[in-house]
């Protein structure tokens, strides 16, 4: 009995020292691996705050200036959107133009939805999914969805800008690499996502190619409403440009703001009338009371990134083909 008592007494006295040594050891590990510890803390912080059901918006309380506190990716160095300064862009001579396949095909279904932040359009294809390739793309990309960015003012609304000029509306067409099996914006790394950006400028006349959407916006005036609309070719909205566009590496422009996104920005704007644009401004936000009058993230720092102006050079392609022919001929002679 005395032996058991002495063992328990020894354990009681020794336990604080063991805990102290373990604490020192753990602290040493954290200091030695500060970078990983910081990432772990950010992950726990993000997860903890997500449990508070943080729902982003574009206002004072949960707007873009707050996203960095809840979404670590938003603090990255390759964020979107950006302001494109034409005098600092680099010319990229592409050996072949962009190749658009199946964009003129009629989808089986088309649906639009008021997400509470924007208008989202999705098209379902039984076969012949629209696919984009060519230029300097290393793989093919399939069409996923469209969304729109606007504001209450005509001199702003777009997320991207060119030489500090904003446009009243920007349409973003999201594509996903054919190597990916699903669209997962929370993935950390190369998302395999390509987004095409189109600007709109106000004109006196309606743009008839926008009518399939504009004429049905009243059906989704309330947030989270979704409606199927008569199918139409996506090429009505996604104008198939083949050259003369800007490209850069960036991120998603809304949470989680994941990086690893390739952006193609078409500088030539399309048209929209004031009446058509007003229909977007009548949509209600997620609070069911206020209208969506701003859904654009401010431009982000370019940092060390390079923006390229992609230009198809047919003569460069011909010279490459000639060089390949000469090389094959030389090999044939040597053999």
Quick: pLDDT tens for 222-280: 999 999 999 999 999 999 999 999 999 999 999 999 999 999 999 999 999 999 999 99
Strand partners, 93: 311
Domain ranges of the chain: 73-317
Asked if residue 146 lies in contact with residue 158, where contact means CB atoms within 8 angstroms, the answer is no
| From the candidate CATH numbers 1.10.600.10, 3.10.200.10, 3.40.50.800, 2.60.40.60, the one assigned to the domain spanning 73-317 | 3.10.200.10
Phi and psi at 211, nearest 5°, equal -55, -40
| Nearest alpha-carbon partner for 283 in 184, 161, 149 | 149
Q: What is the pTM of this model?
A: 0.79
Which 8-state DSSP code applies to residue 161?
A: E
Whether the bond into 202 is cis, omega within 30 of 0: no
pLDDT for 163-188, tens place per residue? 999 999 999 999 999 776 555 554 44
Of the pLDDT bands very low, low, confident and very high (cuts 50, 70, 90), residue 55 is confident
Q: What is the pLDDT of residue 16?
A: 53
Query: One of 35, 65, 117, 175 is an active-site residue; which one?
Result: 117
SS3 91: strand
Question: Residue 131 has what pLDDT?
Answer: 97
pLDDT at 313: 82
Instruction: Write out pLDDT tens, residues 76-88.
Output: 999 999 999 999 9
Q: Report d(CA 15, CA 235) in Å as an integer.
A: 72
Task: Give DSSP secondary structure letters for 100-115.
Answer: EESTTSPPSEEEEEE-
| Cβ-based neighbour number of residue 313 at 10 Å | 16
DSSP 3-state assignment of 253? coil
- Do residues 140 and 178 lie in contact, with contact meaning Cβ atoms separated by under 8 Å? yes
Position 94 scores a pLDDT of 96
| Stronger pLDDT, 16 or 143, i.e. the higher one | 143
Least-confidence region, from 2-16, 36-50, 122-136, 304-318: 36-50
Beta bridge partners of 311: 93
Is 117 known to be catalytic? yes
Q: Is residue 189 pLDDT above 90, yes or no?
A: no
- Asked which of 33-47, 56-70, 243-257 is least confident by mean pLDDT, the reply is 33-47
Q: Are strands 193-203 and 259-273 parallel, antiparallel or unpaired?
A: parallel
Asked if the bond preceding 256 is cis, omega within 30° of 0, the reply is: yes
Say how far apart CA 78 and CA 266 lie, in whole Å.
20
Q: What length does the chain have?
A: 335
Closest CA to 291 of 278, 304, 306, 275: 278
What integer pLDDT is reported at residue 40 of this predicted model? 39
């Amino acid at each position: 009995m005395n032996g058991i008592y002495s063992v328990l007494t020894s354990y009681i006295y020794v336990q604080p020292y063991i805990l102290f040594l373990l604490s020192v050891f753990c602290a040493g590990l954290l200091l030695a691996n500060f970078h990983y510890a910081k990432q772990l803390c950010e992950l726990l912080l993000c997860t903890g705050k997500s449990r508070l059901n943080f729902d982003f918006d574009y206002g004072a309380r949960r707007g873009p200036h707050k996203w960095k506190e809840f979404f670590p990716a938003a603090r990255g160095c390759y964020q979107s959107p950006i302001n494109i300064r034409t005098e600092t862009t680099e010319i990229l001579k592409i050996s072949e133009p962009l190749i658009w396949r199946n964009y003129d095909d009629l989808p089986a279904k088309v649906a639009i939805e008021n997400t509470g932040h924007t208008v989202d359009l999705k098209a379902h294809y039984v076969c012949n999914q629209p696919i984009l390739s060519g230029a300097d793309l290393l793989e093919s990309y399939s069409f996923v969805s469209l969304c729109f960015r606007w504001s209450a003012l005509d001199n702003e609304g777009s997320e991207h800008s060119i030489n500090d000029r904003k446009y009243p509306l920007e349409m973003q067409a999201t594509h996903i690499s054919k190597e990916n099996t699903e669209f997962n914006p929370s993935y950390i790394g190369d998302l395999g996502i390509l987004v095409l950006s189109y600007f709109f400028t106000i004109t006196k006349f309606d743009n008839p190619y926008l009518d399939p959407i504009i004429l049905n916006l009243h059906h989704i005036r309330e947030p989270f409403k979704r409606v199927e609309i008569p199918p139409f070719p996506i090429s009505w909205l996604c104008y198939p440009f083949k050259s003369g566009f800007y490209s850069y590496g960036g991120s998603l422009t809304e949470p989680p703001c994941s990086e690893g996104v390739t952006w193609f920005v078409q500088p030539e704007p399309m048209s929209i009338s004031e009446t058509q644009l007003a229909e977007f401004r009548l949509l209600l936000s997620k609070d069911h009371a206020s209208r969506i009058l701003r859904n654009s993230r401010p431009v982000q720092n370019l940092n060390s990134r390079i923006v390229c102006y992609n230009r198809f050079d047919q003569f460069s392609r011909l010279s490459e083909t000639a060089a390949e022919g000469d090389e094959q001929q030389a090999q044939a002679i040597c053999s």
